[in-house]
C-alpha cells in the first residue's frame, strides 16, 4: 500500500512537470535551452563544481517556472476578476522566473566564455576522461526528451503507459553508456539482459505495449550512442 502511494506521488509530481511543459511556452524554451547547454558541456573539461552549478542553475529556472505556473493557476481558481493583489502576485512570480533566467545566462557566460574562445584548441578526448559526467548528462537528456514526448502524446501517466516507455529508455541508455565505459563483452551482455528484463516487465505488467517499449529502447540507446560517439 505504501509502495502504491509512493508511485502515485511520483506520478502526480511528474504529471505537474508535463502539465507545465504542455501549457507554458517558456517552460519548453527552458527545457530546450537546458538540453543545449548540457550538450555543449560535453565538449569542455568542466570541473565537478562547474557541473554542479550547471545542474543547480537549470533546476532553479525550471522550479521557478513551475512555481509561477502554480501561482497563476491558484489565482485563476480563486477569482476571474481583476484585482491589484492578484496582479502583484502574478508579477512577482514572473519576476522570480526572470531573475532565475538572468542568473542562468550569467552562469553560462562565466563557465563557457573563456572555453568558447579556445574552442579550436579543445580536443574531444578530454571528455573521454570524464565518463561519469557524460553518463549523467546523457541520462538527464534522455529523461527530458522522454518527458517532452509524453507531454506531446498526452497518453498514460508519467510512470505508467504512454509513448515512449521511460523505464526502457533509461535502461537502454545505461546499457549504451556501460558499453562505452567498460568495453567488456561480459559486462555489456549482462547489462543488456537487465535492460531487456526491464522492457519485458513493462509489457508484462501491462503498462506499455510492445511498440512503446521498442521506441523507448531505440530512443535511449540512440541518444546515448550519439552523445558518446560524438565525443569518443
Active site residues per annotation: 65
Separation CA 112–CA 44 (nearest Å): 8
Q: What are phi and psi for residue 160, nearest 5 degrees?
A: -145, 125
Residue 124 Ramachandran class (φ > 0 left, ψ -120 to 50 alpha, else beta): alpha
Separation CA 163–CA 150 (nearest Å): 6
Asked if residues 216 and 146 have their Cβ atoms less than 8 Å apart, the reply is: yes
Q: Which of 155, 154, 164 is nearest to 220 (CA)?
A: 164
Amino acid at each position: 500500500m505504501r509502495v502504491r502511494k509512493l508511485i502515485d506521488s511520483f506520478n502526480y509530481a511528474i504529471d505537474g512537470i508535463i502539465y507545465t511543459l504542455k501549457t507554458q511556452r517558456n517552460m519548453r524554451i527552458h527545457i530546450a535551452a537546458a538540453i543545449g547547454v548540457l550538450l555543449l558541456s560535453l565538449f569542455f573539461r568542466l570541473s565537478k563544481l562547474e557541473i554542479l552549478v550547471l545542474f543547480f542553475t537549470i533546476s532553479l529556472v525550471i522550479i521557478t517556472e513551475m512555481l509561477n505556473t502554480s501561482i497563476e493557476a491558484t489565482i485563476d481558481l480563486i477569482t476571474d476578476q481583476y484585482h491589484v493583489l492578484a496582479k502583484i502576485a502574478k508579477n512577482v512570480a514572473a519576476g522570480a522566473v526572470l531573475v532565475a533566467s538572468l542568473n542562468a545566462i550569467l552562469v553560462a557566460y562565466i563557465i563557457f566564455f573563456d572555453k568558447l574562445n579556445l574552442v579550436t584548441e579543445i580536443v574531444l578526448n578530454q571528455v573521454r576522461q570524464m565518463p561519469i559526467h557524460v553518463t549523467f548528462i546523457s541520462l538527464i537528456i534522455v529523461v527530458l526528451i522522454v518527458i517532452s514526448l509524453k507531454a506531446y502524446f498526452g497518453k498514460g501517466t508519467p510512470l505508467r503507459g504512454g509513448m515512449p516507455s521511460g523505464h526502457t529508455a533509461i535502461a537502454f541508455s545505461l546499457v549504451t553508456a556501460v558499453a562505452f565505459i567498460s568495453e567488456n563483452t561480459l559486462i555489456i551482455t549482462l547489462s543488456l539482459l537487465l535492460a531487456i528484463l526491464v522492457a519485458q516487465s513493462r509489457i508484462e505488467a501491462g503498462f506499455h505495449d510492445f511498440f512503446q517499449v521498442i521506441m523507448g529502447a531505440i530512443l535511449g540507446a540512440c541518444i546515448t550512442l550519439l552523445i558518446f560517439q560524438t565525443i569518443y
